[in-house]
Each structure stands twice: as structure tokens, then as C-alpha cells.
Amino acid sequence: MKRPLANAAALLAAAVTVFPIYWMLLSAFKPAGEITSTAVRPWTWHPSLDSFERVIGQENFGRYFLNSLIVAGTVVVLSGLVAFLAAVALTRFRFRWRTTILVLFLIAQMVPVEALTIPLFFLVRDLGGTVPGVGLNTLGSLVITHLAFSLPFAIWMMRGFVAAVPEAVEEAALVDGASRFTVLWRITFPLAAPGLAATSVFSFITAWNDFIFAKTFIISAKGNQTLPAALQMFVKPDENDWGGIMAASTLMTIPVLLFFVLVQRRLVSGLGGAVKD
């Protein structure tokens, strides 16, 4: 293929790929009259914030947004710490069940977590009243379940980054009299931190995008709903408020996009590493 032709094809593919996002943004900013008109309007001369105002004013939207941030943020921090420790154990030590544990983590990634919704629903229900902060209609139940489901992959990915930290640096610090614990937090952790960034994208996205658990565990306390389940409530069989839905979708996409942009390079190199491993 000639280069100009290839360039044009790539730009066309990019346009097609980004189009739904463009349409979401455009529709979120269109005034009500243009959304409900059946004429084709690929552009608007009258951008308006009405849809955003309507959504934000509706049914605790800000609260849902904050809930999603709390759940995803907590999962990212906790899974980063836990996965880091596990990755150290699995890269720096040789012990008996090492291979078995690794294979189990790999298998865990393949288990359809949707299928576990049923037993988890009963577990979460039964934990209510016994374990503080957990139970139906609590954000805690979303945090712990997402933590569990993001861990196997986070550990698997962190492993490569911990392995890349030169052991000589750690040994030098040990020789200088640092404790194992100090070495772990002052040397290994900061050096593996870029990997943590890439890993955290996946944990963040898993928790942020979750729909099925939020829908199942948060059944009556509407104030504890997270964004995806709240968004589904806006989608009605007929008479959709498309402007509002697109505004809500936009608000929901922004944090993930920001996260992606921030760690984009590391994500690609991390993936390359994971794939070529």
C-alpha cells in the first residue's frame, strides 16, 4: 500500500473509532430542541449545559459520582499494596507452592465473575450486621468484591515490574544495615511504582465500570448507588432523555479517560511486557 493511502486509511479508522465518543459529547452539549428533532445535526451552534444541569440536579447524581470514585479509589490503593506484597513473594522467593499459586491466579482471571454474583449476593447479605461497613446497600461490599476480582490480574502484572527491580540494589541496602521491611518500602516499592501505575488502571477500570455487582448489591439504598447502575436507571424502554443520558455518560467517561491519558505510555509498555513475557 502506498503511504498516502495508508495514512488516509489510518485517519479514517481513527475517525470511525472516535465517532461514538464525539457523538456522545456533542449530544451532551446540544440544546433540548436539537436532541429531540429528527433532522440530522452533526454540529451545534448553540452548545448548552442544560443536559448536564438536569443530570446533576437529578437523583443524587453527584453522590453517585462520588460513590464510584470512593469505590474505585479504595480498590486501586488496596489492590496496589496487596498485589505488590504478593508480587514480591512470588518473584523474590522460591517456595513450595509457588507455581501452584501462580497457576491459581491465572485461572482466577478466567472465572466468569458474573457467575459468582449469586453466591456473593448471599454472602454480602449475610455479612450485613456482622462485618461493619459490609452488607447489602453498602459501598464496602463493592470495594471488597472488586478488590478480590482485580487482585489476580494485578499480581500477575506487578510480578514483571518487581522482577525488573535489580536485586543488587536491594542487597546493597541490606548490607548497609537496612531492615528487610525498610528495603521493601524504601527501595523496591518506589522502583516498581511505575508498574503500579499501569496495574492500577486495570483495577480502577474494573471497579469504575462495574455494573452487575452495583445493580445486585445496592438494591434499596439508592443514595449508595454507583454511576453505571444509576445510568441504567435513566435508560427507559421508551421516552429516553438522550441528552441527559449522554451528559451522564460523558461525566462517567471523563475520569477513566484522564486515568488512561496519565498512564498511557506505561500502560502500553506494561502490556508489551506482559504480552512478550
Should residue 271 be labelled a site residue for other proteins when binding is judged by CB under 8 A? yes
Using CB under 8 A as the binding rule, the residues of this chain from 138 to 157 that contact other proteins are 144-145, 147-149, 151-152, 155
Per CB under 8 A, the list member of 136, 142, 196, 245 interacting with other proteins is: 245
Among 76, 120, 173, 192, the residue binding other proteins under the rule CB under 8 A is 120
Taking residues 28 to 47 in sequence order and writing x for each that binds other proteins by CB under 8 A, - otherwise, the string is -------xx-xxx-x-----
Distance CA(72)–CA(213), nearest Å, equals 13
Listed residue (96, 83, 70, 84) closest to 255, CA to CA: 70
What's the CA dihedral at 138, 140, 145, 151 to 10 degrees? 160
Q: How far apart are CA 252 and CA 211, in angstroms?
A: 13
The residue (of 57 and 260) whose beta carbon lies closer to other proteins is 260
Residue in 85, 178, 191, 233 binding other proteins, rule: CB under 8 A: 85
Q: Is the dihedral of CA 6, 11, 14, 20 positive or negative?
A: negative
Measured at the CA of 78, the angle between CA 76 and CA 79, to 5 degrees, comes to 65
55 binds other proteins (CB under 8 A): no
Nearest residue (CB) to other proteins, 188 versus 224: 188
Instruction: Give the three cell numbers for residue 34.
Output: 436539537
Check residue 193 for interaction with other proteins (CB under 8 A).
no
What distance in Å separates the CA atoms of residue 92 and residue 163, rounded to the nearest whole number? 8
Binding status of residue 197 toward other proteins by CB under 8 A: no
| Site for other proteins contains 268 (CB under 8 A) | yes
Please state the closest distance from residue 230 (CB atom) to other proteins, in A.
10
Kindly state the smallest distance separating residue 49's Cβ from other proteins, in Å.
19
**Quick check: 275 binds other proteins (CB under 8 A)?**
yes
CA–CA separation, 40 and 145 (whole Å): 44
Q: How far is the CB of 52 from other proteins (least distance, A)?
A: 15
CA distance 243 to 258: 23
